[in-house]
């Protein structure tokens, strides 16, 4: 997404590694979010498992868990790894979109694709998908994740103060953003499947 | 009907081959080796297709994405200003890869003000897809990232701190003397390239995939520079190797160095055209 570059990998459904974590009636979903040392403007060495990383891992895991049909794969584990290579605002959304694509490409049953987009509010105008400079101005930043065909919201994260009217317009904009992402993702997946089909020679 | 039967027979035999490959990997490979070919249709001494893309990450000062077959490595460099140590007041340093201690880069080039400031290069190499010959890919990515690196223009402000300078400021505030007049490239005294080979019985397999590395355990990695001098050689464990086999590996590496150098040069000149 723009200057933000993310890569996602999905493993599973496979045997649960840590036996104690096994859930008998559904799949265990795990997610690991990492940022490359060179991804931001200033190089910061983040120890593994700092607060921001843990929080975003949790956000992604819960968002994806909501759409994966975990009941269909009891006693298994699905691992999602997302790595940020270049960060320029909206890493959360980019990670969720990448994870959706990876899950779909892995053929894991999902209720719907989750798509995500962020939006903010700066100088009285709602802005879609803030980059780093716009984000560091300190305005509100709303990250929204939706299931486009079911028309449900799975993720809504907002910080800082925002009037109700402004929130509504920001929310509306973010929803439009998500829909645009959904269209794009669907097109990508269709092309991918077509290529697979060609390679199989069916 | 006849044609569908044929297809089904094909699929059945394909499944059988797959099963054989899983169950008896070593025999599967030895059968191939005796025909001087590998399962991915390469001759024994041929490396996989290699590509280098420079400038994949714009937030870093120098970066490169390298693919050798499916193996994908991403290297990126960030530069920072540091105070050099007392022992070597006019040298910078590189953090990340020990091969560069071989004098590939003149560390004096990284000096800004003797004893006060020097560049520190942070080199990070990320493996995005591991399919064998990881060291080769990592080294190539690191070298490519270094050749993509441009040292930024900086000046010293009134507090004696080093600050970045953008193009317009250079003319506007001539009071500040830029230490580094223009964005410059590093010069290399020698460029290391490497090739990993698998030794199995009398066969030498260049540039192994992950599967091959798993099945056959004797690995030799040779690092040579452009003029053909040996920079380093690793052979960890595995079976005993004869001197002559190691010589053969070095000869293979020598050929591969030329190939890699050409690929790197093409990538660099492509970038300069853009």
pLDDT in tens, A64-106: 998 899 999 988 999 999 999 988 888 889 999 999 999 999 9
Q: Do B122 and A7 touch (CB under 8 A)?
A: no
Number of structural domains (chain A) is 1
Using pLDDT thresholds of 50, 70 and 90, give the confidence band for residue A115.
Answer: very high
Partners of residue A46 in chain B, C-beta under 8 Å: none
Tokens of A112: 């719907």
**pTM of the prediction?**
0.82
CATH number, domain containing residue A195: 3.30.230.70
Give me the DSSP letters along A76-125: EEEEEEEEEEE-SS-HHHHHHHHHHHHHHHTT--BSS--EEEEEEEETTE
Q: How far apart are CA B149 and CA A128, in angstroms?
A: 33
Which residues span the domain enclosing A126? 5-200
pLDDT of res. A123: 81
Report which of residues A12 and B39 the model is more confident about.
B39
Q: Do B128 and A43 touch (CB under 8 A)?
A: no
- The complex's ipTM? 0.77
**Chain B: residue whose CA lies nearest to A132:** B59
pLDDT of res. A58: 92
Partners of residue A38 in chain B, C-beta under 8 Å: 57, 59-60, 63, 76-78, 122, 124
Using pLDDT thresholds of 50, 70 and 90, give the confidence band for residue A124.
Answer: confident
Using pLDDT thresholds of 50, 70 and 90, give the confidence band for residue A133.
Answer: confident
pLDDT in tens, A40-68: 877 666 666 688 889 999 999 999 998 89
Q: How far apart are CA A156 and CA A169, in angstroms?
A: 14
Mean pLDDT, all residues of chain A: 88
Q: What angle do CA B8, B12, B18 make, to 5 degrees?
A: 145
Q: How far apart are CA A106 and CA A11, in angstroms?
A: 8
Residue A152: pLDDT over 60: yes
pLDDT of res. A1: 78
pLDDT of res. A61: 92
B124 touches A: beta carbon within 8 Å: yes
Partner residue opposite A36 with nearest CB, options B58, B80, B126: B126
Q: Do B60 and A40 touch (CB under 8 A)?
A: no
Rounded to a whole number of angstroms, the distance from the CA of A136 to the nearest CA of chain B is 16
pLDDT of res. A202: 63
Phi, psi dihedrals of residue B29, rounded to the nearest 5°: -70, -40
Partner residue opposite A43 with nearest CB, options B57, B63, B122: B122
Report which of residues A161 and A4 the model is more confident about.
A4
Query: Which residue ranges in chain B fall short of pLDDT 50?
Result: 1, 167-175
B161 Cβ contact partners less than 8 Å away, ≥ 6 residues apart: none
Q: Does the structural domain B50-173 have CATH classification 3.30.230.70?
A: yes
Q: How far apart are CA A26 and CA B68, in angstroms?
A: 39
Partner residue opposite B122 with nearest CB, options A37, A39, A83: A37
Best to test chain B binding among A7, A34, A40, A43 (most B CBs inside 10 Å) = A43
Axis crossing angle, helix B243-273 with helix B134-148, rounded to the nearest 10: 30
Q: How far apart are CA A143 and CA A1, in angstroms?
A: 14
B73 touches A: beta carbon within 8 Å: no
User: Nearest Cα to B180, choosing from B163, B200, B192, B194?
Assistant: B163
Best to test chain A binding among B60, B67, B79, B97 (most A CBs inside 10 Å) = B60
């Amino acid at each position: 997404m723009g200057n933000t570059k993310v890569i996602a990998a999905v493993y599973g459904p496979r045997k649960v590694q840590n036996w104690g974590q096994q859930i008998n009636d559904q799949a265990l979903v795990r997610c690991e979010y990492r940022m490359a040392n060179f991804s931001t403007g200033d190089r910061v060495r983040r120890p593994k498992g700092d607060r921001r990383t843990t929080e975003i891992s949790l956000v992604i895991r819960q968002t994806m868990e909501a759409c994966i049909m975990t009941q269909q794969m009891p006693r298994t584990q699905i691992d999602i790894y997302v790595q940020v290579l270049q960060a320029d605002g909206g890493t959360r959304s980019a990670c969720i979109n990448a994870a959706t694509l990876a899950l779909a490409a892995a053929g894991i049953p999902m209720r719907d694709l989750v798509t995500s987009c962020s939006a903010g509010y700066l100088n009285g105008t709602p802005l879609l998908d803030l980059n780093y400079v716009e984000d560091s101005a300190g305005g509100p930043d709303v990250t929204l994740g939706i299931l486009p065909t079911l028309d449900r919201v799975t993720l809504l994260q907002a910080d800082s103060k925002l009037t109700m009217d402004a929130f509504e317009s920001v929310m509306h904009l973010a929803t439009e953003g998500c829909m645009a992402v959904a269209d794009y993702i669907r097109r990508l997946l269709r092309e991918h499947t077509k290529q697979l089909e060609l390679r199989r020679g069916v | 009907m006849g044609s569908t039967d044929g297809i089904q027979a094909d699929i059945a035999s394909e499944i059988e081959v797959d099963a054989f490959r899983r169950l008896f990997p070593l025999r599967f490979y030895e059968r191939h080796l005796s025909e001087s070919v590998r399962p991915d249709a390469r001759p024994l001494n041929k490396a996989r297709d290699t590509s280098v893309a420079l400038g994949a990450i714009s937030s870093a000062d120098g970066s490169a994405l390298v693919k050798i077959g499916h193996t994908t490595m991403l290297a990126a460099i960030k530069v920072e200003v540091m105070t050099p140590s007392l022992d070597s007041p006019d040298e910078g340093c590189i953090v990340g890869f020990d091969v560069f201690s071989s004098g590939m880069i003149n560390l004096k080039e990284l000096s800004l003000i003797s004893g006060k400031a020097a560049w520190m290069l942070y080199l990070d190499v990320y493996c995005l897809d591991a399919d064998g010959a990881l060291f080769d890919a990592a080294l190539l990515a690191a070298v490519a990232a270094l050749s993509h690196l441009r040292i930024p223009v900086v000046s010293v402000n009134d507090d004696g701190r080093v600050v970045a300078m953008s193009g317009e400021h250079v003319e506007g505030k001539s009071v500040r003397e830029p230490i580094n007049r223009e964005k410059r490239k590093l010069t290399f005294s020698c460029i290391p390239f490497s090739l990993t080979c698998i030794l199995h019985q009398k066969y030498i397999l260049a540039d192994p995939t992950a599967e091959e590395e798993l099945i056959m355990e004797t690995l030799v990695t040779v690092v040579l520079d452009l003029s053909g001098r040996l920079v380093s050689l690793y052979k960890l464990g595995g079976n005993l190797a004869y001197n002559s086999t190691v010589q053969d590996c070095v000869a293979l590496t020598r050929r591969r160095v030329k190939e890699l150098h050409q690929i790197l040069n093409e990538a660099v000149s492509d970038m300069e055209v853009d």
